[in-house]
Every structure is written in C-alpha cells, then in structure tokens.
Amino acid sequence: MFSVRKFEPNDMFSVIKLASETLTEKYNPTIFNYFYETFREYFLVAESAHKIISFIIGAEINSSKIKILMLSVSKKYRRKKVGNTILKELEKIILKKGINDIELEVRTKNNTAIKFYQKNGYKIKNKMGNYYQNGENAYIMRKKI
C-alpha cells in the first residue's frame, strides 16, 4: 500500500538518496531544492510506511506545456503500479491547470522506460544526439492529455 502526495521539504534527503540509487545521471543535490522552489506544484512523492518510494518532478515550460524532468521508483517497488500512479497524479494536476501537452526525454537505450511511457500514452517524437552527460542519445516523448 502506498500513497501519493506533494513533496515537502523534509522529504529532501530521501528524494536525493532515491535519485542517486535509481537514476543514471548524477545530480547536484541543490537542484532538488531549486525544483521545489520553482515547480512546487509539479513535485510529487509516493510513500509507503512513511518511506519515500518514488518521486516525479515536472516543470512548466509555457502555458501549454509541461516537461517531466525526473521520475524515479525504488527498485523494490517497480512493477507494482507506483510509477503509473504517480504519473497519473501529475497528469491530473496538469489537466486542472488547463495544460494538455507533456514532454520528456528518455535514453534511447532505456527500453524499460520507453515501454513504460508508451503504455501510458507517450509517443516518440524526436531523437537528440549527445543529450546526456555521458554522451548518450535521448528520445523526446510527448503526450496530449
């Protein structure tokens, strides 16, 4: 059993730890504070037994587009609908704001993530070369909601 809620400042260390354990890119921890300060309404966490098991961060690009910056699920909780649930919660918030275009980038080699997003209605729209810190390519994926 888990629940999804807005990120709170006391979640910071748990989110940073989860990001370092699950995401390929290595982020300066201060970026999470920036995202909270700037995109607070699009920063959600999922928790189980008072432990953060997932987070998602979205950024409002303009009045009609949101970009998903990060989505992370603890390895122990993958394939248990946590990712689907937190993504759908973010989409509900986006719809309430009157925004219907969502975009994200995903590594072209990350077949698991690509399939996850495709099952949730996202489509590959473009490819960007040398996008990540290590030189890997990314797909741009989009969804109209």
Q: Between the CA of residue 135 and those of 21, 107, 128, 130, what are the distances in Å?
A: 21, 10, 10, 4
Q: Between the CA of residue 6 and those of 17, 55, 73, 93, 100, what are the distances in Å?
A: 18, 9, 16, 11, 20
Domain limits of the chain? 3-103
Give the catalytic positions in this structure: 117
> For the purposes of burial, counting CB atoms within 10 Å of the CB of 141, is it exposed (0-12), middle (13-18) or buried (19 or more)?
buried
pLDDT at 90: 98
Q: Which amino acid is at 24?
A: T
pLDDT tens, position by position, for the chain (145 residues)?
999 999 999 999 999 999 999 998 889 999 999 999 999 999 999 999 999 999 999 999 998 999 999 999 999 999 999 999 999 999 999 999 999 999 999 999 999 999 999 999 999 999 999 999 889 999 999 999 8
pLDDT at 127: 97
CATH number, domain 3-103, options 3.40.630.30, 2.40.110.10, 3.40.50.920, 3.40.50.300 = 3.40.630.30
**What is the phi/psi pair of residue 25, to 5°?**
-70, 145
